[in-house]
A = this chain, B = another copy of it.
Amino acid sequence: MPFKEGCTIYSQEKRNDKYHRILEAAIKVFAEQGFYQSTVSQIAREAGVADGTIYLYFKNKDDILIQFFQHKTKQVFERFKEAVSKGDSALEKLRNLIRLHLKAFQDDRNMAVVYQMETHQINRSAEEQIKAMSKMYLDLLSEIIDQGQEEGSVRKDLYLGLVKRFMVGAIDEVINTWLHSKTGYDLVSMADPLVELLINGVGTSRDKQ
């Protein structure tokens, strides 16, 4: 439609603005109550819009979750990619990844809660998007492990599928514990000790069993 450019940008921005306001509100409400216990009305109230407005920006309630993974989470994961690329050694890359991961999740607790909750559901409406995110993360780990093996800093006798899960799980649980704890300790400070554990394990001897 024949709008002046400045106008278009303006209305685009406004539109964008409301989209994000609703998305953030939804994430907050989901984080507080869980997806199924949250109502569209609560999200609308939190976002300061009418119930019907939600449906101008999202197809339905499920779609909000889908957009969360498709846009918001994706953005964060893109930053993970970047952080990894900035490391030189595999170790550095891993450390960058985990530091940023913990930092990003600490900085946006609502996102963290929703991410952790939904990725552990079955029958997920955002299945596809979650699978994509998961793959992206696992690919980052693959890259790091590969490089580590080339460098000689990572063992070659590893079952890669398992190793990646082992890492993902450890990181996830550290976040999960932080989310469920009352005391708001510093999550990021867990990054280096965690990396160290992933690299060296808990044992004293290198003898393979």
**A157 to B: closest C-beta gap in Å:** 9
Say whether B173 contacts A166, CB under 8 Å.
yes
Partner among B154, B159, B167 whose Cβ is within 8 Å of the Cβ of A204: B154
In the complex, A2 has a CB within 8 A of chain B: no
Residue numbers in B under 8 Å from A165 (CB-CB):
170, 173-174, 176-177
Task: Tell me if A120 and B117 are in contact (CB < 8 A).
Answer: yes
B-chain residues with CB within 8 Å of residue A203 when the two chains form the complex: 153-155, 199-200
If over half of A's interface residues share one DSSP class (helix, strand or loop), that class is named, otherwise mixed; here it is helix
Min distance, Cβ A129 to any Cβ of chain B, angstroms? 14
- What separation, in Å, do the CA atoms of A171 and B196 have in the docked complex? 18
Nearest CB in chain B: distance from A10 CB, A: 19
> With a CB–CB cut-off of 8 A, which chain B residues contact A198?
166, 201-202
A37 near B36 (CB under 8 angstroms)? Answer: yes
In the complex, A89 Cα to B179 Cα: how many Å?
Answer: 33
Q: A91-B209, A152-B204 are in contact. Are A169 and B174 (CB under 8 A)?
A: yes
A174 touches which one: B33, B152, B166, B192 (CB < 8 A)?
A: B166
Encode contact with B along A166-209: 1 for CB under 8 Å, 0 otherwise.
Answer: 11111111101101100000000010111111111111111011
Q: Which of A37, A91, A119, A198 has the most CB of B within 10 A?
A: A198
6 residue pairs, one from A and one from B, having the closest CB atoms: A169-B173, A201-B201, A120-B120, A36-B36, A199-B203, A169-B169
